[in-house]
Structure 1
């Protein structure tokens, strides 16, 4: 089964307060809770075709909000009032903001995990292995803490939890000087910042609220140091301390029913650790799901493509960031639909293992008026269909995407930048209309939001179709570049600017997907040519070809002459943002 993942940011999802203010407190702006994700909500999510649910922002993290017995962290090491969920304060605890009462938070989280399982959703959570909050603490009995026993004057030692700044480190310290002031915990020593910034004075572009964890090798020494790490068969007592603690963390959450992990910035962690840790996790739960957020950037620990290395280390799937960026660049940088052919040919590993998405918590909302060229609501159905249907790996939908969330709620540290802030107490106005005070139904949605949610509910189950789940890929744009009726504008001498078409095939199942990515142009005379080679590839040899609409099953089947499809093509008019998903078969 193809994983279809719903990213549910707990702090936002069930927040019923829709009239907050910028930089508002929890009391002013409200906050979602574990209990707010009810049985009814989960049943409706599962009914849309989701198989997994990524419970985001669950781990206890640094915050400026105090609770009884749980003091707030200093402003200098917290981004926003609520705080970043990726500045983890305690790996063995959950965010007290998310409990109906702080002391009930863990029991309510366990109950939520059971509710997910009861409706058939596999619960996932974040695993943030590269860095922790500067105020990190852990009170799990019998557990070694990061940094315990470290020499604060030694930059690197294999058994230390952190990397420590020295008198030779840039920035003229101590003390550590952060963008918003000093931090009492690092007045006489300092630690390397989470994004590998070796400086006594990290700036606002750094992950200044976090410290980098030490996996037993000096990251400044590069590949030679990585080669000295233990291999994946090493017993637990023979690996670095951080490896042992991370294994305890994964085991702890697996024991509470978590079925998988979205691993933050996975390319920054040694592949030797991943292979070791994932193998141990699969001894505990053979079908545990590991999904990597990873990018081919300067932070990677491999000389080549880190995404391929992560898959070889045991990950089920890796973010397909290139596909996301190309989709967005069609509307912001002038890319053409034809460019997807080149992308898909150059990265075959993503066909099977790439996590396809058009939104997540790091990216701008497609329907934000200041993102995606301001075209999002029109083009979202077409672009998401292209992105999801062109692969056979997992797909990801961020809560609110399904109703056209615009990221116009109160902000704060996150600002008003087209994203729903993960740093602040805020809400999801479009989604809250569906939440409807806990009823979780579409009765209050406006027409646009209701149509978009219905589109998601039609498309997502189709991803389990054999051709879209397991099928091979055949791009059709190359065969239509000279086809003047393939969405060509008058001033263009090549087709394929706004229209993309593909075939997916598995065994006896063939699906044609075509989308109009234009936000404004009605291609009323669109024709898609399917060459002889494509018919040979998918095994359709009869003169008559049947086309059945999978998205809108109310329509009748259509019959075409195969020779006509190879010559003039299939007539399939599309308005802006419209798509067709057709099952082709011999007739």
Structure 2
């Protein structure tokens, strides 16, 4: 009988051969990868990984496929661990105070790999996660890199897996090791979702020589001074007014001077000695690929994305430039079937089915989904669903509205990370969702790789930990997907990338070269839990969520009520069910204990605090309490 994990067996065979070889030097691993202890352990790496993978392969298979479960069903029950393989499992294994981008003597890497990600699966399962969401694992570009390793979002080849994610000692390809990772995850009952980059590509993408019409080209003499277009205030006001009204007819264009920087598709393309692609137009002008920038809002002044370029989704001579009205808020004159770059769209539509057939993935997160043409998104969804009707689609979108559901998407990123630092904004968002309902779940998280870490906001580590507890407890009460951005459970504070909600001071303190999205880096796996472990808290909160899943997952209008509480630092959320309700009360202040009073119709009632395993008493229609910094209460109430 063939094993259910043939690629995992290949890795085990390679480790079996390697474990009897001499490994030069010492190899340390975090104790936390094995149990809830801090510090490190010294191991023979081949034997260590062989033992863990053997236990996974020998364990009883946990069925993952339920024919009755739709993509909506399993997405709503998902508990997500967000893994960036190159970073999450990176570690200073030889303890020389640096993470080397080159393999150690003996052939094991210090940067994260699929082998180490497989070994981390039991840890992820212990946290309570049942779904792993991987940031892009495709080969990154080499040109205009922001750091030593390049961004996973600067995709050089959409079909190739990053060779840095394999362990040289195994003598296997990165593709084989990714297959083994997904096999092992499925064996343990864990689904795997991959993120896909369809809106952009690296400036040295492999498609450029054969398909120069898929890209925007700049006049070579003007490329060095290229930047986002500038709009005066009157024009900005008109842009905002039209977009707010969904009026995309004759959207204001950038200046003629800006548009003139762009060249027509070159007749020939070649690479210079540095690897930069240069094109020659029919008129003999030299041009190069245009780098990207944040196009919305149209006066956004985020640093340019020098390592990526926008793919040219439409062909129209009057719109041969990069701006908000060609990249996201498509002008009506542009977004027509006759202007579709059909061969590009067809290629993009084939990418996910390739990964479904080759790697058996369970879902896709679409990067910049809010900036893809709706017809293209529909084609991507339809083609993947032909392969697997229960294939899930998640969208980098901030609006959990019915329109997203109609597009075939099962979840969105949502706006929660952008309001969680202020109870007033949290109340505003939750009141809005109570009135409108929630058509698709959003991610219940206070951070992702583009936003500040929760603990980045607080100079004292214990305060960050307190805020993380509050946010996670609140998140399990919402019609949302519990989302553990890897490192959050360790109270990591160093940002992965300076994408959204960062200040100029942050950009001064964290140069691009120090950011883990672009360069070798690792988490504080060894001492992160010395203050008070978050792991048991996360597990307990997730058990409560599963117990009351039917109540907390409901997105019905009126099912999410915010009762009045006496203290502004205290947030209360009541989730209404058919025969019982669930009450959350949390102290959003991470530095100070807070007293509060909440009134009830019941005169006297004993409640059980499920998070803290202690009774709480309503007396004379009042529940009086004192909550420690970041502490929360969750109680069942009669309907």
Question: Partner residue of 1:463?
Answer: 545
When normalised by structure 1's length, the TM-score is: 0.72
Counting only pairs closer than 5 Å after superposition, residues 167-316 of structure 1 correspond to structure 2 as 170=258, 184-186=276-278, 188-195=286-293, 205-216=303-314, 218=319, 220=326, 222-225=330-333, 227-229=335-337, 240-255=342-357, 256-295=359-398, 309-316=403-410
- Partner of 1:6 in structure 2? 81
Q: 1:37 aligns with which of 110, 117, 136?
A: 117
Match of 2:609 among 549, 562, 569: 549
Change (3 A) 1:15 1:577: same
1:242: Cα distance to partner?
Answer: 1.7
Query: SS of the counterpart of 2:217?
Result: coil
Deviation at 1:48, TM superposition (A): 2.4
Answering whether residue 549 of structure 2 is matched by residue 479 of structure 1, we say no
Residues 408 and 228 of structure 1: is their aligned pair in 2 closer, same or farther, counting only changes over 3 Å?
closer
Alignment of 1:506-525 (within 5 A): 506-524=577-595
CA distance in 2, matches of 1:146, 1:186: 10
| Contact 2:87/2:516 (8 A) holds in 1 | no
> By how many angstroms is 1:165 displaced?
3.5
Instruction: Report whether the alignment pairs 1:60 with 2:139.
Output: yes
Deviations for 1:337-363, whole angstroms, at most 9, x for unmatched residues? 64454443566337x422221121111
Residue equivalent to 2:519: 424
Aligned residues: CA RMSD: 3.9
Deviation at 1:498, TM superposition (A): 0.6
SS of 2:444's equivalent in the other structure is strand
Q: Which residue of 1 aligns with 2:210?
A: 148
Find the aligned partners of 1:308 and 1:165 in 2 and give their Cα distance.
Answer: 39
CA contact (8 A) 1:475 1:503 kept: yes
Q: Is 1:85 aligned with 2:152?
A: yes
Partner residue, 2:21: none
Contact 1:21/1:410 (8 A) holds in 2: no
**Compared with structure 1, are the counterparts of its residues 447 and 550 closer, same or farther at alpha carbon in structure 2 (3 Å cutoff)?**
same
Distance in 2 between residues matched to 1:173 and 1:243, nearest whole Å: 26
Partner of 1:367: 455
Contact 2:437 2:555 in 1 (8 A): no
Q: 1:410 to 1:581 in 2, by over 3 A?
A: closer
Residue 173 of structure 1 and its aligned partner are, at CA, apart by 6.5
- Which residue among 315, 324, 339 is the counterpart of 2:417? 324
SS class of match (1:165):
strand
Aligned to 2:489: 402
User: What is the distance in 2 between the residues matched to 1:239 and 1:446?
Assistant: 52
Give 1:570 deviation, angstroms: 1.5
Q: Which ranges of structure 1 fall in alignment gaps of 5 or more residues?
A: 63-72, 138-144, 151-159, 198-202, 232-237, 296-304, 434-443, 481-485, 488-496, 533-541
Moved more, 310-319 or 263-272: 310-319
Distance 2:132 2:378 in 1: 24
The equivalent position to 2:443 in structure 1, one of 337, 355, 362, is 355
2:635 to 557, 582, 585: 582
* Residue 475 of structure 1: how far off its partner (Å): 5.6
Say whether the 8 Å CA contact 1:20–1:410 is kept in structure 2.
no
Displaced runs of 4+ in structure 1, greater than 6 A? 20-24, 171-176, 371-374, 408-415
2:592/2:629 contact within 8 Å kept: yes
Residue 24 of structure 1: how far off its partner (Å):
6.2
Structure 1: how far apart are the matches of 2:204 and 2:543? 44
Q: Give unpaired runs (5+ residues) of structure 2.
A: 1-75, 223-255, 267-272, 280-285, 296-300, 320-324, 499-505
Question: Does the residue aligned with 1:385 lie in a helix, a strand or coil?
Answer: helix
Is residue 262–residue 293 contact of structure 1 (8 Å, CA) maintained in 2? yes
Taking a change above 3 Å as real, the CA distance of residues 107 and 373 of structure 1, as seen in their structure-2 partners, is closer
Distance 1:347-1:409 versus aligned 2 partners, 3 A rule? closer
Residue 460 of structure 1 deviates from its aligned partner by 2.2
Work out whether 1:499 is the aligned partner of 2:570: yes
Q: Is 1:51 aligned to residue 133 of structure 2?
A: no
**After alignment, is 461-470 or 87-96 more displaced?**
461-470
The offset of 1:246, in angstroms, is: 1.1
| CA separation of 1:146 and 1:282: change in aligned 2, threshold 3 A | farther
| 8 A Cα contact 1:15 1:427, kept in partner | yes
Residue 254 of structure 1, CA deviation = 1.1
- Aligned CA distance change for structure 1 residues 196 and 546 (closer, same or farther; 3 Å): closer
Contact 2:449–2:495 (CA<8 Å) still a contact in 1? no
Output one character per residue of 1:257-300: Cα deviation in whole Å (capped at 9) or x when no partner.
111111111111111111221122112111111111135xxxxx
- What do residues 287-340 of structure 1 show as CA deviations (whole Å, max 9, x unaligned)? 111111135xxxxxxxxx79664333111111112x22111245xxxx566445
Q: 1:8 to 1:522 in 2, by over 3 A?
A: same
Aligned CA distance change for structure 1 residues 336 and 105 (closer, same or farther; 3 Å): closer
Q: Tell me, yes or no, if structure 1 residue 344 matches structure 2 residue 433.
A: yes
The 1:312–1:382 alpha-carbon spacing in structure 2 relative to 1, beyond 3 Å, is same
Which of 448, 452, 463 does residue 531 from structure 2 map onto?
A: 448
SS of aligned partner of 2:114:
coil
Q: TM-score, normalised by structure 2?
A: 0.67
Query: Within 2, Cα distance between the matches of 1:583 and 1:226?
Result: 54
Shift of 1:214: 2.2
Which is worse superposed, 275-284 or 99-108? 99-108
Change (3 A) 1:204 1:328: closer
Matched residue, 2:15: none
CA positional deviation for 1:206: 1.6
Aligned to 1:162: 215
Q: Deviations over 1:88-119 (max 9, x none)?
A: 11111111111012852110110001111111
